[in-house]
Structure 1
Amino acid sequence: MVSLMRLLRYGVGIVVVGMALLVAFQEKLVYVPVLPGDTKSYERTPAHLGLTYEDVWLRSSDGVNLHAWFIKLLPDCRGHIRSPFLV
C-alpha cells in the first residue's frame, strides 16, 4: 500500500512538472511563421493586400474579447449580388 501511494505521488509530480514545462515553453513548441524582417506582433492587415476592412471586436460566450477583420466582398456593394462562381 505504501509503494502504491509513493508511485501515485511520483506520477502526480511528473504530471505537474510536465504541465509547468509545457506552459513555460509553449511559444517555442508551437510553430508561428514569421517572414524575414517582420516582428512577431502581426502588424500586417488586409490593407497590405489592397483590401478595405473594418476592425471588429467580438465577445464570446465565455467573456473573451476576440479581434477580427470584417472584409467586404466589394467596397461599394449594396444588397445581394450573385456570385459567378455559384451555380
Structure 2
Amino acid sequence: MTLVLVIVTVILSLAAAGAIYRMAVGPSLLDRVLAADVLLAIVGAALATDMAVNHHLHSLALLVALSLIGFIGSVTVARFVLDRKG
C-alpha cells in the first residue's frame, strides 16, 4: 500500500505542477480557467486518496463542496464563452 501511495502522490504532484504552469503561462483566459478547474479536481483526488488511505470520512464534506464549486465554475465559464462567441 505504501508503494501505491507514493506513486499516487508523485502523479498528483506532477499533474498539479502542470496545471499551475498552465495557469501561469496559459495563452488565453479559457486555458487558465480550465487549468484552475483541473487543479481543483487534483485537490479533490488528493482528498479522496487521503480518506481511502487513512480510513476516515472527515474530508467528505470538503470534497463535495469542492466538486460542487468546480461544476458550477465550469458551467459558468462555458456559458460566458458561449455568450461571447454568439
Q: TM-score w.r.t. structure 2 length? A: 0.29
Which of 1 and 2 has greater Rg? 1
Q: TM-score w.r.t. structure 1 length? A: 0.29
Structure with a larger share of its residues in strand: 1
| Structure with greater contact order relative to length (CA < 8 Å, sep ≥ 6) | 2
